[in-house]
C-alpha cells in the first residue's frame, strides 16, 4: 500500500483486527510518526470500548411472554419481506394451485352445473306422468261407456321422485 492510500479509516480496522499484516505494519509505522493519528486512535479506541461495554438489553417480560405464548406476529402477511430468509416467489408458487389442478377444478365445477340443471329437476318429476295417465283414463272411459268409471277419480298412486 502506498503512502497516499493510508487513510485514518484504517485505524478502526486496526483496532478490530481487520487488517492484513502488511496494512497493519504500515498503520503502526504511521502511528509511531504521527501524534494526530495517535490521538484519533485513542478516541476511537475509547468509543469502541464504550460501545462494546454497553449492556445486553432484555425486552420486557410481558413482551417475551406474548412471543413465547404463540405466534410472534399474528398476521404479518401485509409486511414486506426483503431479506434472503423468505423467498416470496417460492411462497407464492407454493400457495398457487398448479395448472392441472385448476383444469380439474374447472371440469368439476362444470359437472356440478350439468348435474344441477339436468339431473336434479328430473328427480323432482311426478311419476307416473299425470297428463299421460289422465289422457289414458279418459280414453278408456269413453270406449267402455261405463258411467261409474267415467266419474271415478284417477286412482293411480303418484309420488314425488325424491
Partner 1 sequence: MADGIPTWEEVARDHGRFLYTVAYRLAGNDDDAQDLVQEALLKVRRGLERYEPGSLEGWLARIVTNVFLDDMRRRKRRPTSALPDDPDRVVPPAPAADVASRELPVHLQEALAALPEDFRVPVVLCDVADQSYEQIASTLGVPVGTVRSRIHRGRRLLRTTLTEGAA
How far, in Å, CA of 85 to CA of 82, rounded? Answer: 8
How far, in Å, CA of 70 to CA of 62, rounded? Answer: 13
Residues 6 or more apart in contact with residue 23 via CB below 8 angstroms:
1, 10, 13
Q: Which of 29, 51, 47, 31 is closest to 39 using CA atoms?
A: 31
Show the cell assigned to 76: 404479518
Q: Does 81 bind partner 1 (CB under 8 A)?
A: yes
How far, in Å, CA of 48 to CA of 45, rounded? Answer: 5
Nearer to partner 1 (CB atom), residue 22 or residue 145: 22
Q: Binding residue for partner 1 (CB under 8 A) from 28, 42, 136, 146?
A: 42
Nearer to partner 1 (CB atom), residue 2 or residue 84: 84
Query: Using CB under 8 A, which residues numbered 5 to 34 contact partner 1?
Result: 8-13, 16, 18
Nearer to partner 1 (CB atom), residue 67 or residue 107: 67
- The interface region with partner 1, picked from 65-73, 93-101, 126-134, 147-155 by CB under 8 A, is 65-73
Nearer to partner 1 (CB atom), residue 65 or residue 120: 65
Q: Does 85 bind partner 1 (CB under 8 A)?
A: yes
What number of chain residues touch partner 1 (CB under 8 A)? 42
How far, in Å, CA of 138 to CA of 154, rounded? Answer: 10
> CB–CB of 42/50 below 8 Å?
no
Q: Does 131 bind partner 1 (CB under 8 A)?
A: no
Least distance (Å) between residue 7 CB and partner 1: 8
Distance between terminal CA atoms of the chain? Answer: 95
Residues forming contacts to partner 1 in the complex (CB under 8 A) are 8-13, 16, 18, 36, 39-40, 42-44, 46-48, 50-52, 54, 56-60, 63-64, 67-68, 71-73, 76, 79-86
Amino acid at each position: 500500500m502506498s503512502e497516499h492510500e493510508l487513510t485514518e479509516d484504517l485505524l478502526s480496522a486496526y483496532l478490530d483486527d481487520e487488517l492484513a499484516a502488511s496494512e497493519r505494519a504500515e498503520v503502526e509505522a504511521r502511528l509511531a510518526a504521527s501524534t494526530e493519528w495517535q490521538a484519533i486512535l485513542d478516541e476511537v479506541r475509547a468509543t469502541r470500548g464504550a460501545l462494546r461495554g454497553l449492556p445486553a438489553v432484555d425486552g420486557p417480560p410481558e413482551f417475551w411472554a406474548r412471543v413465547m405464548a404463540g405466534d410472534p406476529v399474528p398476521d404479518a402477511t401485509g409486511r414486506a419481506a426483503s431479506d434472503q430468509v423468505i423467498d416470496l416467489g417460492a411462497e407464492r408458487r407454493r400457495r398457487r394451485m398448479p395448472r392441472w389442478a385448476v383444469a380439474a377444478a374447472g371440469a368439476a365445477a362444470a359437472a356440478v352445473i350439468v348435474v344441477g340443471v339436468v339431473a336434479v329437476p328430473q328427480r323432482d318429476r311426478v311419476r307416473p306422468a299425470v297428463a299421460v295417465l289422465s289422457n289414458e283414463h279418459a280414453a278408456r272411459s269413453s270406449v267402455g261407456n261405463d258411467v261409474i268409471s267415467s266419474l271415478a277419480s284417477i286412482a293411480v298412486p303418484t309420488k314425488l321422485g325424491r
